[in-house]
Amino acid sequence: MQPLAENFFIHGFDAGHEFNLYVVNGWEADDGYVLEFVDNGQGIPAERLNTVRRTLFNPDDASSGSIGLRNVYTRLHFFYGDGCTIEIANNEEAGVKIAVRISKEVIEHVQVDDCG
């Protein structure tokens, strides 16, 4: 999830603004788990946001330049398949909101190592 935070500091952070905010929330929903990344940065122009959404799921299309976001999606999709989604939108107040949703059904089938 690091590239999602990096995107805020590269694209949304405003050094001239005294209150830059980046919040990570996580919760369990009925059908899965949600991680939400919200900032109060500059947001994404509508045309650019549409391009990012369109190319996020197409690894052959490098036109958007959203390499970090696409890498996050690719890695999550590798582990969770279609049981994982990413939604990206402008926040109503300001900034960007990214929601990562992982199905409970899929998590049951993911192998994890005991690192303890």
Is the distance from CB of 68 to CB of 52 less than 8 angstroms? no
Residue 101 in any domain: the answer is yes
Task: Specify the pLDDT at position 14.
Answer: 77
Residue 63 in any domain: the answer is yes
* CATH number of the domain residue 33 falls in: 3.30.565.10
pLDDT tier at 113, thresholds 50, 70, 90: low
Residue 75 has pLDDT above 70, yes or no: yes
Residue 98 in any domain: the answer is yes
Buried b (16+ CB within 10 A) or exposed e, 17-39: eeebebeeeeeeeeebbbbebbb
Residue 116 in any domain: the answer is no
Residue 92 in any domain: the answer is yes
pLDDT tier at 34, thresholds 50, 70, 90: very high
Residue 114 in any domain: the answer is no
The domain containing residue 89 runs over which residues? 2-14+22-105
How many structural domains are present in the chain?
1
